[in-house]
Amino acid sequence: MSKGLARHEEAPEDIELTRVLSVGQWQYLMDHLHGLPLDEHAHRLRFVLPFAHATGLRVSELVDAKIGRLYTMPLRDRLGIRWMLKVLGKGGKWRAVPLSERVVSLLGAYLAQRGLDPDPLANPPETPLIARIDGNDPVSSSGLYKAIRGLFQSAADALRADGRGQEAKAFDRASVHWLRHTCGSHMGSAGVPVNLVQKLLGHASLATTSIYTDSDEERLWQEITELEGMGSAH
């Protein structure tokens, strides 16, 4: 072998971030969820999916979230409040995670469906944000994983039934942790500063967060596609 040739090595599993749902895939998933019969499972998922997508919480952090860790703060520049959630993350480190008005509204509807007060702070502090289907005890990590994986598989089956087998494969592969990557990716694509994404996700290193903001592969693909289109016009 020539000295100028590099050694053959196994290609890395991910050169760019692949364990993430695109904006289009996310919208399809939410549309699919809202098209399902509105039973207790769907009620829970209608809160859980936007909650996980907006906060990027790990599965362990999602099931650990409690009413007693919610708090509000006045807005600095206008009348109003912001909702926050205290989250115990890796290494026993606490961080404050913001909740949008939409997520708080969905939480209120989900609490009411569980027979609780729709005002989150009017409920006992030990009340879990995400509960088991058969009561108000906390859902287990495995229980939540199975529920979300079931939704992913349902979306995959619907795509496959519609003749879109290639698009279905992403949902076949998707795990619950993809929701955390999806949160980071969508925030990075929207131009949210990387240090704020790091703060939200609770990453110890900024380098870990940079995967959500350093991807130019689609931009390169678009440029190549446009150039090829110009060439074919002649």
Interstrand relation of 70-74 and 94-99 (parallel, antiparallel or unpaired): unpaired
CB 133 within 8 A of CB 41: yes
Active site residue 173: no
Active site residue 90: yes
pLDDT tens digits, 200-234: 666 556 555 566 665 566 666 777 778 777 655 55
Please give the pLDDT value at position 26.
94
Active site residue 32: no
Average the pLDDT over 119-130 and give the result: 98
Task: Choose, from 34, 90, 102, 169, the residue flagged as catalytic.
Answer: 90
Active site residue 86: no
Q: What is the DSSP letter of 81?
A: E
Task: Choose, from 44, 58, 114, 186, the residue flagged as catalytic.
Answer: 58
